[in-house]
Structure 1
């Protein structure tokens, strides 16, 4: 459907980060309703040649007319407004209240965006402020004493504000009152409530074609949304936990509770800090810390498995689980037998060819208890140097090195200090069972293990023996994880 040359296929958007940009009247007509629903502000950018192009999406979005005549939109990564708390911006764009929490923070990438649920909640709060602003201006206009106006402002709720707004007449200078309320909340239009975000703010490769006042208004609105997330939405969720209106029972339900309120998972460390301040929510605090640990282990595990050849995958996964959930003080390179290394070297082609995944691992356990001599160690070292697929990440992993990576990952990604050296220290500090950690980790990584009773207590030894907790036979399969978002409305084609 989309098999066309790159120069001829894209009729809307940019393929070179804003250096050149195309527009299309049909796409602008179709995206008008979409931008209204997603609260995207129509804005103009300036290309490298000085041309001004009006867009209703982020600049990376590309519109392609398929061979079937339908209009398609690709690269929707930045349809939501950016998260100012995790962007490398100047400190002047951060409010003093957010600076107290050490914002902005660095993240792994620049695609940190606000969730649609948060935008909906923020727009609803802005809508309430809009009515209250109109009611305040009307009260000041009709009142003869300032004290009366102040009393009215404090006692005015949303329903009363709507009733006062409905009583607006021409004699009350309603147009000036509405325009003043629109300016106070940052509305795009000056005669009605319409709050939208500019998705191309703080993009180094995009040159906006608008006045400095418009840019300042867009930044102010984005700053207010970021403050609303940290100062309002997260404390409201903690209050719901205290009122038992929402009770998470595991990490998955905690993630769902955060997502339903528009809170990204990268704020999990902030949520854990607030939970730690409430003594009645100690059980949810343990769930949050366990979720941070398992998610950090998932990221470390992904990079760990990328350096392992396929014929060593089951053994490497079992070694990772042993280092994660038990105490292993010696690296796995000391337990690889000569016969195992020679078989792995012969199964790997020297010209970067395919890897033989049918190599037998049965001789590993029987020969692991034999203590090699210095001559055998030198021979194994030469074989590892000749085999480009056996890398240091797999060979040198121990419980100490793994938990050091986990603590660094939790600090850099979630801004939370685990302060644990191994699994035993973690279990003593938090009231969590080892099987719960194993189940959560397997569900996040797609691991399938054999069903049996794992003896964790017997596995806490300084050497690998036949009584180790996990072995390569326990690894049944690794299946892909498919994430999907349930649609709120019925999908509709653009044309």
Structure 2
């Protein structure tokens, strides 16, 4: 990747920094807001295996055609030589052994050369479909883009339908949002395709509920993160409790002058590279001044749920059902949302049917959630 750079640390070890893209960008998401929409390593491995199998099959067919052609043209001569070699048993045996050894060596060399050619052909440029200027001839750049497009089409045309079919046949049966995410990643599917997978499971109520709850939680997670970015540190607890009350309770509408659309604010931030103005506002002379009102207080239950529906349509291309608020499994959703944002709530019995089930004192802690990749042995995981 272009952003990647290597350094030698003071401990004489070599380090790679800014290694954000080790796989190519998803050709299905090439917009300005999809800079880090990349293909998963599991998908790249599966695609390379399929392409290598196709290549080996086509080469075997070509070899069979080439071997059948001389046999058909020289059939009589071969039979005569065979009769002669049958009479001369001793010398011919040693010669045949030498010939077989030479053929074995040639076959091994051909296999190694074929493997090398296959590995050379099935390679991807992680810098295609980016804003960086690519090196090489236009033909090479077009070939790199074509290979990435093929891998992206393999995801949408082969992997997604196969995974939906496995779900319908109950060969893959996720129990909650976490196992669903693991199954998606194992098959090389990014979570941004969860809406397309959910559309194929409408006729299965238990899977449909899992997908709906997971999409709602992920949409709420993004909206809550935007609220926390505009909140002062001493107001993090009240902001989280207010958001949870809007999500699980019934917070009434507030005056329009203090209301704010979190989703629109998020879109404006992504459109322009603005400096963070957390809890501040710009005055006429250009200086920043503290704001007296908290932005999270402008959020109510009706507005939050409408933004969740809008965000799910925007990010996951999925239309949440109209009765979403009644379909949400509150206990599992609370646990899932807390794990995704790193929040810890007090262990007590909550009245989730109340208008304000959460208090500021219920928010015990907030820890950062860091995405990481831990190598896992697939054989031991399946035991």
Give the TM-score, by structure 1 length: 0.57
Q: List structure 1 segments (4+ residues) > 6 angstroms apart after TM superposition.
A: 332-335
Residue 309 of structure 2 aligns with which residue?
407
Determine if contact 1:332/1:397 at 8 Å carries over to the other structure.
no
Shift of 1:235: 2.0
Aligned counterparts of 2:364 and 2:36: Cα–Cα separation in 1: 35
Task: Kindly report which structure 2 residues correspond to 1:480-491, keeping only aligned pairs within 5 A, or say none.
Answer: 480-487=368-375
Determine if contact 1:130/1:193 at 8 Å carries over to the other structure.
no
Q: Does 1:272 align with 2:235?
A: no
Residue 287 of structure 1 aligns with which residue?
210
Aligned counterparts of 1:410 and 1:334: Cα–Cα separation in 2: 26
- Show CA shifts across 1:269-314 (max 9, x none): 11111222xx2x3211211121111011111001112222233332
1:426 to 298, 320, 324: 324
- Show CA shifts across 1:155-212 (max 9, x none): xxxxxxxxxxxx9x99xxx9xx99xx98xxxx9x658765110112123232312x33
Determine if contact 1:449/1:475 at 8 Å carries over to the other structure.
yes
Residue 70 of structure 1 aligns with which residue?
13
2:128 to 196, 201, 211: 201
Change (3 A) 1:440 1:332: farther
Aligned counterparts of 1:191 and 1:266: Cα–Cα separation in 2: 31
Residue 231 of structure 2 aligns with which residue?
308
Determine if contact 1:118/1:229 at 8 Å carries over to the other structure.
yes
Shift of 1:387: 8.2
- Show CA shifts across 1:215-237 (max 9, x none): 22212211110011111112222
How many residue pairs get aligned? The number is 315
1:262 to 159, 164, 188: 188
Shift of 1:120: 0.8
3-state SS of paired residue (1:256): helix
Structure 1 unaligned blocks of 5 or more? 1-57, 89-105, 145-166, 336-354, 356-385, 460-467, 490-495
Aligned counterparts of 1:109 and 1:310: Cα–Cα separation in 2: 30
Shift of 1:470: 1.4
Residue 119 of structure 1 aligns with which residue?
44
Residue 435 of structure 1 aligns with which residue?
331
- Show CA shifts across 1:233-279 (max 9, x none): 12222233234332110000000111111111111111111222xx2
Determine if contact 1:323/1:397 at 8 Å carries over to the other structure.
yes
Q: Does 1:86 align with 2:11?
A: no
3-state SS of paired residue (1:275): coil
Aligned counterparts of 2:241 and 2:164: Cα–Cα separation in 1: 38
Change (3 A) 1:191 1:230: closer
Task: Kindly report which structure 2 residues correspond to 1:234-273, keeping only aligned pairs within 5 A, or say none.
Answer: 234-273=160-199
Aligned counterparts of 2:139 and 2:37: Cα–Cα separation in 1: 25
Structure 2 unaligned blocks of 5 or more? 70-99, 259-278, 280-287, 378-383
Determine if contact 2:7/2:14 at 8 Å carries over to the other structure.
yes
Q: Does 1:228 align with 2:154?
A: yes
Q: Does 1:331 align with 2:331?
A: no
Change (3 A) 1:140 1:125: same
Aligned counterparts of 2:332 and 2:68: Cα–Cα separation in 1: 63
Aligned counterparts of 2:255 and 2:244: Cα–Cα separation in 1: 12
Shift of 1:325: 1.2
Shift of 1:458: 3.3
Change (3 A) 1:190 1:284: same
Aligned counterparts of 1:206 and 1:117: Cα–Cα separation in 2: 28
Shift of 1:452: 2.4
Change (3 A) 1:441 1:472: same
- Show CA shifts across 1:364-385 (max 9, x none): xxxxxxxxxxxxxxxxxxxxxx
Shift of 1:476: 1.6
Shift of 1:71: 2.3
Aligned counterparts of 1:131 and 1:391: Cα–Cα separation in 2: 67
Residue 12 of structure 1 aligns with which residue?
none
Determine if contact 1:83/1:113 at 8 Å carries over to the other structure.
yes
**How big is the alpha-carbon RMSD for the aligned residues of Structure 1 and Structure 2?**
3.3
Q: Which moved more, 1:71-80 or 1:237-246?
A: 237-246
